[in-house]
Amino acid sequence: MKTYQLDCSQISLEDHFWQLYLETVRPDGAEYFGRNLSAFRDAVSGGGPGWPGECRITVVNTENLQRREEQFFSGFQRIARELAEYSGVSIVFE
């Protein structure tokens, strides 16, 4: 299984997070990926644009992102919890 680490130490905006995701993971259909939580949910649940393949994504140093984009981060954590039940994508927060 592939593993990726998203270091969010320099990330404080949702747009920047999605750019980091695309640059680090290089998912299928990246050019069509919507860069939002709905698009990410579609990608990981149905293999749509942005699908990272079966993998483990570790998200670290999220303090700035959590503070500046609280609603986004909460939604991302919710999706991560749901993924554990039906997807080959595991997202871990450290």
Average pLDDT value for the chain: 94
Instruction: Quickly state the pLDDT bin for 31 (edges 50, 70, 90).
Output: very high
Determine phi and psi for 6, rounding to 5 degrees.
-100, 105
Average pLDDT over residues 8-32: 97
User: What six digits make up the tokens of 23?
Assistant: 């640059």
The CATH number given to whatever domain includes residue 80 is: 3.30.370.10
Number of domains in the chain: 1
Is the pTM for the entire model greater than 0.75? yes
**Count of beta carbons in the 10 Å neighbourhood of residue 20:** 17
Domain membership of residue 6 as a residue range: 2-93
The whole-number average pLDDT for the span 10-32 is 97
- Whether residue 86 is predicted with pLDDT greater than 80 in this model: the reply is no
Average of per-residue pLDDT across 5-28: 97
Helix (H) or strand (E) holding 92: strand 89-93
